[in-house]
Structure 1
Amino acid sequence: MEAINMKKKWIICVSIIAIAYFVLSLCDFMYIPADKYPNIIRKMFFHDNEKVTVRSIGKVFQTKEGIYFLYNDRLMYMNSYGAEVKEAGLKQIAWIIPDNSNVFFLDNSVYDIYKVKQNNETKPIIKRSGDRIYIDGRYIYNYVYDNNTISKYNLDGKKIYSSKMYYGQLMAGGVGGIIFNDYNMRMVKEELSNYGMGVDVPCHYIFDWNRVKYMPKVLYTVHYYKQPSIWDYNNNFIKLEQYDEWAEGWDNKIRENKNKLRDTENRNMEDYELVSIGLSKQNPDYYRAVDGYIYFYHALEFCYRDKNYKNKISFDSTGDFDEKDKTRVEFKACVYVMFRVDVENIENAGDTSQLEYEILDVPMYPIDTNDEIEVFEVNDNYIYSISNVNNATTKEIKVLVTDIEKGTTRNIYDCRELSDDIYIPGIYCSDDYVFLYQYKIEESTTLRIIRFNKDGSNPILVMDENGEVVMKPIQ
């Protein structure tokens, strides 16, 4: 009898503990933000921030033995000397997912994620993958639009957690986003929201690191030097800053290039003063996380207002104003620049603090009129970017390389020709080469693949429009 009573007590205790565990897991206060955990715990699960590199799906993958790359849905292999190309035997592949020594790919039928074993056998590890896939050397992140959920897996496809996010990635109008160390970020684009970078902060259950809830924070992206207008959504919470050397430098650059900017060319800039500098709410299409930094090419907005605007705009009895008056007295000029943000700063920044960023010396469109950056990759402290121009008679593609440390940009490849084919470019990097993909817009298929050295020398036509291996220099 005593043994039975003891067993009942154990059952009751275990039941109470299980119920308490479940109930407490529903309480937000039981979840600790990742940045609040001691470093010794964080290092068990994440990379050092200086080494954080996140890759998404692509077309080229470097291994010790050679280079795998895709032509349409065919997996091709180039040997380590870069001299021989052959089919690798796998077909119906939509994308390669590169990750150090592991090879993953996404098939183009049911979009399962496969892992390639050392004997070239393939094994499905994640069924029905989502709309965005990221991999960081330890984990695979799989994002699904429909339910705004991110799922985290180990490299063998074992699910670690799934959780809903606040700043899910967008399906149109700037679809980019980036996930790193369980964090997620993108520009806050929602209507009537404040200007800022939205960050989903992973909060781990105190009794189980692999149980995660996301909490939002916003890092403001606008610097105000004058009191904002009453129609500005930010006017209730801004902090005015001094018109410093940085702001003056940009102000002068805009005024010097007024004839290149659509919103300034027909205005007398002497009548206007700089109100603010900030990032556009339009979300970028591409984010790249490399060696502890996040890169994105994005519009920097400069808000100018008539110095005597109060005398030039009228309000009715309800406080409303004519939109035409507003357009006449205030406008925004935009310049596209390359931003770089430190991962550690994003993790440690408090909610509603300012986003800290650098602006790198990549061509700034439209100040650099002929260099509108379409896509880019970051590799070995260099940024490889593509400027693509199409008009009725001519197509021009330029590949630019920016040395991040030196702040210099060179045109390393230039292709101009008359053609009826209008195509868009893609760029991918291996250890020693840059691969330029050209796609037909009408058919969404690869037109040709060109390979050249990192410095732009020795351009080689790898595969032609017919899908044939060529491997001959381009004249």
Structure 2
Amino acid sequence: MLSKKRITIFILISVTLVFIVVICAILPRFDFMYISAEKHWQKEKIGDRDEKTGGKGVSYVAQGENGVYFIYKNRLMYIDDKYENIKEVCKDIGMIQGGLVEGDTIFLYKNDDIDWINKVDSSGKIVRFIFDSGKSYIEGENIYTLNSKYGLRKYDFNGNRISSNKVKFDVASINTVFDNYIFYRGYDGDDDVEVSIPKYYFFDANKINYKTRKLKLSKYYLQPEAGDIYWKEDVIPYDSFAKEVDKTVREGKIFDDTAEKNLDDYELQSVELLPWSFSEVQDGYIYLYGEQKVTYRDKNYKEKMSVIKEEWESEKTKKVTYTTIARVLCRINIEDIKDTSEDTYINYEIVCYDLNKKWGGFIINNKNAYVLKEDEYFDSSKEDRNIYVYSMEVDTGLYKEIYRKKRFFNGNYSSKIFVTDKYIFIYEGSEYGVKECITRINHDGSNPVLVMDENGEVVMKPLESKSEEKSGK
């Protein structure tokens, strides 16, 4: 009798172990065991439950509950909102790449000999928190790290790792994370924007299987000829988007060299979008800045190509086409990104054309885009180069110059801007970042103040400003 009980227990244990092995080691290898978040029985635990926001990356300036944290070289500083008192939270903390803020706790990403995320409280106490390399983000109640070795890792605010999932992406890419999606543009020689799409293991939503898709942002309207970079399967019917872009080009006010070109004998061939940079998720959108390349083909191109002798077909094609380019800020709804497939085109909305053609970085904050521009660098001895800050309403495309100032330093070391709930911070550095100054302005460009001077002293010195209005639509 005892022997039968032992056999029964042994069988139950064996079956249980086999079941565990199947669930944990065998079934996760099959794609059919992974489903979308909407269909998952643990969907309430997936993502941060806010469909309008995404991960916030490390930054030199970050909004806290009652003030602003900012980094000056190897020092973490804090300005309280009420009295604008500035204090040094901690210093001599090594090479800081930026910080993530949750309430009044800041997580500093350090890059010395080893990559660490350090946790710092309001008293300045520093604790080594997460040992991980790559890009870091904060979304909802979690911290994410993204690198080529481990993929996307998820931690709670106590430093406990929740998940680690392999994902294919360009290690040198610019990227952002939202709801476990990874949106990135690589540096592999093309201008493709890609998204890594998550699906979740049926028995454990922390196990993710990623599929990568290239976003189809460029549209082609005429059948290809020799030398064209697209296939006949890519051709789509002339649509409202093409009509609007064609109208803008023919008006001759925005795109290059169109005022002197007679386009009556040409028809629209393609509209390509070549993004250079993009934002984090804001109000359900990702904003992209880059070139919109519009190509036209002569209506009588076949006849004209037939009389061109002794040239390759691709060279003949170039002689019967015309290409014009404009710089543009546009946006994509993240729901369209989530629903993308290999066969669908991504619709993007044009926010504004860059009439200056010299924008630097941009930041989206509360339905406004803040853009930094600098006078071109020609001579290191030139002292009158200016910095300009523009503010743009993303829903209307109207923008204006809200602030300009002379650079504090000569040379070609680029300036940067950071935006908080009330302010814009401008970081300027000398060559190789030996010296650094920080200026702060209100969102409308008023009340400019030099916060930190080149000696690292807190000065809060008022400065003067100028501004003018423009429209990019």
- Give TM-score, length-normalised by structure 1: 0.86
1:321-332 equivalences under 5 Å are: 321=312, 323-332=314-323
Structure 2: runs of 5 or more not aligned: 465-473
| Aligned-partner residue type, residue 277 of structure 1 | V
1:215-266 superposed Cα distances (whole Å, 9 cap, x missing partner): 123332122332233443432322422253x42332233244389627x688
- Structure 1 residues 418 and 379: CA distance shift in structure 2, 3 A: closer
Which stretch has the larger CA shift, 234-243 or 448-457? 234-243
| Aligned-partner residue type, residue 10 of structure 1 | L
Question: Is contact 1:433–1:452 with CA below 8 Å preserved after alignment?
Answer: yes
Q: Are 1:178 and 2:176 counterparts? A: yes
Question: Separation in 2 of the partners of 1:62 and 1:55?
Answer: 12
Deviation of 1:461 (Å): 0.6
Identical counterparts, % of pairs? 29
1:348-391 superposed Cα distances (whole Å, 9 cap, x missing partner): 33442111221113xx23xx1x3522111111221111122223
Partner of 2:27: 24
Question: Is contact 2:286–2:334 with CA below 8 Å preserved after alignment?
Answer: yes
| Aligned-partner residue type, residue 121 of structure 1 | K
Partner of 2:17: 15
Question: Separation in 1 of the partners of 2:151 and 2:306?
Answer: 47
- Structure 1 residues 82 and 297: CA distance shift in structure 2, 3 A: farther
Which stretch has the larger CA shift, 105-114 or 321-330? 321-330
Partner of 1:240: 236
Question: Separation in 1 of the partners of 2:227 and 2:187?
Answer: 18
Question: Separation in 2 of the partners of 1:343 and 1:33?
Answer: 16
Q: Are 1:199 and 2:217 counterparts? A: no
Partner of 2:136: 133
| Aligned-partner residue type, residue 80 of structure 2 | N
- Structure 1 residues 423 and 223: CA distance shift in structure 2, 3 A: same
Deviation of 1:416 (Å): 3.9
Q: Are 1:352 and 2:343 counterparts? A: yes
Residue of 154, 157, 160 corresponding to 1:158? 160
Which stretch has the larger CA shift, 20-29 or 93-102? 93-102
Question: Is contact 2:435–2:455 with CA below 8 Å preserved after alignment?
Answer: no
Partner of 1:123: 127
Question: Separation in 1 of the partners of 2:130 and 2:196?
Answer: 24
Deviation of 1:127 (Å): 0.7
Question: Is contact 1:395–1:416 with CA below 8 Å preserved after alignment?
Answer: yes
Q: Are 1:215 and 2:189 counterparts? A: no
3-state SS of 1:390 partner = coil
Question: Separation in 2 of the partners of 1:82 and 1:426?
Answer: 26
Partner of 2:220: 224
| Aligned-partner residue type, residue 165 of structure 1 | V
Deviation of 1:275 (Å): 0.5
Partner of 2:147: 144
Question: Separation in 2 of the partners of 1:27 and 1:424?
Answer: 48
1:378-418 superposed Cα distances (whole Å, 9 cap, x missing partner): 11221111122223244222101112234321211012469
1:120-172 superposed Cα distances (whole Å, 9 cap, x missing partner): 42222211322x22221222221224x47222222322222222323x1352x
Question: Is contact 2:249–2:255 with CA below 8 Å preserved after alignment?
Answer: no
RMSD: 2.9
Q: Are 1:460 and 2:456 counterparts? A: no
- Give TM-score, length-normalised by structure 2: 0.86
Q: Are 1:405 and 2:407 counterparts? A: no
Question: Is contact 1:35–1:347 with CA below 8 Å preserved after alignment?
Answer: no
Question: Separation in 2 of the partners of 1:150 and 1:314?
Answer: 55
1:72-471 equivalences under 5 Å are: 72-81=73-82, 83-91=84-92, 92-101=94-103, 102-109=105-112, 110-117=114-121, 119-130=123-134, 132-145=135-148, 147=149, 149-166=151-168, 168-169=169-170, 171=172, 175-187=173-185, 197-244=193-240, 246-257=241-252, 261=256, 268-280=262-274, 283-313=275-305, 321=312, 323-361=314-352, 364-365=353-354, 368=355, 370-392=356-378, 393=382, 394-416=384-406, 420-440=410-430, 442-445=431-434, 447-471=436-460
1:72-117 superposed Cα distances (whole Å, 9 cap, x missing partner): 1211121223632232123325133333314111124122001224
3-state SS of 1:290 partner = coil
| Aligned-partner residue type, residue 249 of structure 1 | E
Question: Separation in 2 of the partners of 1:36 and 1:190?
Answer: 35
3-state SS of 1:334 partner = strand
1:395-444 superposed Cα distances (whole Å, 9 cap, x missing partner): 2221011122343212110124696333312111122111011123x313
Structure 1: runs of 5 or more not aligned: none
1:24-57 superposed Cα distances (whole Å, 9 cap, x missing partner): 111111111334437xx43433234543232111
Question: Is contact 1:217–1:352 with CA below 8 Å preserved after alignment?
Answer: no
- Structure 1 residues 187 and 76: CA distance shift in structure 2, 3 A: closer
